[in-house]
Structure formats: structure tokens, C-alpha cells
Structure 1
Amino acid sequence: MNPAETVDHIPFMIDLSLEETRRRASVMAALGPEWDPAAVLRGEDEAYALLYSGLDAEQRRVYERLVAAGVLPGEEPGRAAAH
């Protein structure tokens, strides 16, 4: 039997572009006009610096080994763990 002769399903396609646009608009509306992404990033950098401040020598050594191994992100901008 020719596959073109057996129609057991109806093709269904949907373009989610409009829904994605609505979702993004909803997120921005929920964040509000006072949301400042640069301030958020500065706050994250400050929190990260505070998290690893005050380490003793042994803790600093372990921290540096974890950064070198890619387990923890380093202190560079846009940091993320490699693994």
C-alpha cells in the first residue's frame, strides 16, 4: 500500500512566536519599570565577593583549586563554572 494512500493522522503545526512574545511581555511587566538589570548584576557581584571573603589560607587554597578545576567560577566578569 502506498503511504500517501493511508492518512491516519492530520498534520498539526503551531507557531509559538506570538505566545513567546506574550510570555516575555508578561515577565517584563511583572518586573516593573523600576527593575534595573545593571544593579542586579552589581548586587550579585557584591554577594559573590562577600561569600568568599574572609577565607583562611587553607580555605583559600581549596577555593583556588576548585576554581582551577572548573568546579567553581572564578572572579572574572560573566563567571560560570566550567562543569
Structure 2
Amino acid sequence: MCTSAFTFTKCCQETGFLMVVKCRQENTALKDCLVGHYSDPSFYEECKAEYLKQREEYRATGIKKKRQKVTSNV
């Protein structure tokens, strides 16, 4: 996982509107980390498999994943 995401978020929260100028270094580190993940073939296949599973569930039920309610055993 990219620790630079937390660093970038913290920088943005602390600087407000000036984040465009002050958080460039953190943004670059975050982009490099994300590109590294998306360039990894195994991560790509994992994301693809998850997407295809969600698409299959949607086509079968017509309910989007976010709208499905989780049932509890309580």
C-alpha cells in the first residue's frame, strides 16, 4: 500500500487552497506509487477479476453493489 497517500492527504488538509503549490512533491510520490501498482500485471488481473465478478452480480440481480444491503446475523 502507498504510504504516500496518507502523506498527500495530510499535506492537503494542512495547507488548504495552497495545496496545489505546496503538495507537489507528495503528489508526485503518490502518482509514482499508483503507476507502480497499475503497471503490476498481478494487481491488474486482481482488479479485473473483481470488476467482472461485480458486473456478473449486477447483471444477475440488477442491483448495484453499493445499494445491496448487508444482512446481519444479530
Provide the TM-score with structure 1 as the length reference: 0.28
Provide the TM-score with structure 2 as the length reference: 0.30
Tell which structure's C-alpha radius of gyration is larger.
1
